[in-house]
Amino acid sequence: MDSAAEVSLDDPSPPRGGALEVFAVALRLGLTSFGGPIAHLGYFERAYVERRRWLSAEEYASLVGLCQLLPGPASSQVGFLIGLRRAGWPGAFAAWLGFTLPSAILMALFAGLSPHLSGPDAEALFHGLRLVAVAIVAQAVWSMGRKLCPDVRRTAIALAAASLLLLVAGPLLQLVALAAGAAAGAMLCRAADFPIAAPALPVGRRTAWVAAFAFAALLVGLPLAGRVAPHSPVAVMAIFYKAGALVFGGGHVVLPLLRDALVPTGWLTDGAFLSGYGAAQAVPGPLFTFAAYLGAELAPVGSGPGVRALWSVLALVFLFLPGLLASVAGLRLWGWFGRRAAARGALAGVNAAVVGVLGAALYDPIWTSAVLSPRDLAVAVVSFMLLERWRVPPIFIVVSCIAAALAMARLH
């Protein structure tokens, strides 16, 4: 696959467009793409395939299929690879930056604003955002469960993962659940069917190996460095990189991974964490920009704007980085999965376990911290139905949950 047509560090072939062109299109998408990763992929198809014809529908479907099986945010990975195809490595980074920047800025601004919100109305606002999280994550669990657990074996893996997390207390349980899901899938789900086809944008062997080595080296090295310097920028980099490396199945899965790393260890309160997650539903672009809010919130107390901005950028970059590295390395491994039943089964098992991990997080801490009365239950159920049955945009759910919480606070 190391041909003259490859777009890679090994390949001097000229790109087809410019990085500024890619950035302008990606920025427009970052400003207007509401609705989560599946919706984002629909926007991408219209922008990149139908309107500009930067790649064919078959090539686009192949990239989407690859990124949906890798850890990380699928829509951002697809955009990154499309930018790589269009304008080389500058185009890849321009595509990521343009799509990410608008929502990252909004989330960092929310982090700066939230400490100044106080009083009954502010409490109702944050409670409304926590109700948003209930509806959004419940809809994600339902949708992912139907797609990723289509048979008894994968449903059993999901239920086992959820039971483990809800019944047993201890560190690293989420990693144990994902690893057990992979092992069970390799044994029980070998017949799992994935739409595997060779992507139209190959990467040279050397580039793929460099990306794979960097992915693994950072996954091992950053946590070790973080232990030497706890509650430091290096520790933040380690937490967010590890979470980004383990996110299979969609951006919502990052919620339990980050919460488990930040809340029990005292970095952040559950209320602040879930309020930011709820606010992330109101902005366009990738859900991973939730990291920009978290990074600013994690900065030392009394830090100036520059320090808060630095922590925000570190959290953001290191949450996205493993998925981008995996997408580059995965281009060379894509065909390998198609030839090995055990590998396909392991991926199916991991995806099923992800449903269980997210389902456990839906109950604790999301449900237990947000649904405190029958009225809260009614708001959460109606919001879920609006999302699932009537496909109402998430921004409407954010507004309606906040309005309901404010109304309930006044009637209390």
- Is the pTM higher than 0.85? no
Query: Is 219 inside any structural domain?
Result: yes
Q: 132-181 pLDDT, tens per residue?
A: 878 887 887 898 788 889 999 999 999 999 999 899 876 668 778 888 99
Q: Indicate the number of domains in the chain.
A: 1
Query: Is 44 inside any structural domain?
Result: no
Query: Is 114 inside any structural domain?
Result: yes
> Which residue is associated with the tokens 């520790």?
235
Query: Is 400 inside any structural domain?
Result: yes
Mean pLDDT of the chain: 85
Q: 360-408 pLDDT, tens per residue?
A: 888 987 798 889 999 999 999 999 999 888 888 877 888 899 999 999 9
Whole-number Å distance between alpha carbons of 255 and 290? 9
Q: 333-371 pLDDT, tens per residue?
A: 766 666 788 888 887 888 888 788 878 888 987 798 889
Whole-number Å distance between alpha carbons of 250 and 69? 10
Query: Is 405 inside any structural domain?
Result: yes
Identify the pLDDT of residue 13: 44
Query: Is 13 inside any structural domain?
Result: no
Query: Is 50 inside any structural domain?
Result: no
Identify the pLDDT of residue 185: 93
Whole-number Å distance between alpha carbons of 31 and 45? 16
- Domain enclosing residue 264, as ranges: 101-411
Q: 291-338 pLDDT, tens per residue?
A: 999 999 999 988 899 999 999 999 999 999 999 999 999 887 766 666
Q: What is the mean pLDDT of residues 59-77?
A: 80
Whole-number Å distance between alpha carbons of 110 and 62? 37
Dig out the tokens for 237 from the structure. Answer: 């980099």
